[in-house]
Amino acid sequence: DAEALEKRAQETALNLVKAEQQLRLLQADAEDLEQHKIKQEEILKEINKVVAAKDADFQCLNEKKEKLTEE
């Protein structure tokens, strides 16, 4: 009975070590994904700035066109 208990304790310890390794890998993956997300958000902000600037240009041109077609 003591041998079975010892074997079970060793299996549990091994499973704990494996689970800890998996947790570390998942934490590293989560950190990588967070960094990727931050970079993507920065890129999106830059894209939005460009789109806003182009939209403003378009609005300005549209207003000029409207004025010219009214005359």
Q: pLDDT digit of tens for each residue in the chain (71 aa)?
A: 999 999 999 999 999 999 999 999 999 999 999 999 999 999 999 999 999 999 999 999 999 999 999 87
pTM of the model: 0.67
Q: What is the pLDDT of residue 70?
A: 87
Q: What is the pLDDT of residue 7?
A: 97
Q: What is the pLDDT of residue 3?
A: 96
- CA distances for 34 relative to 3, 30, 45, 47, 58, angstroms: 46, 6, 16, 20, 36
Q: What is the pLDDT of residue 71?
A: 75
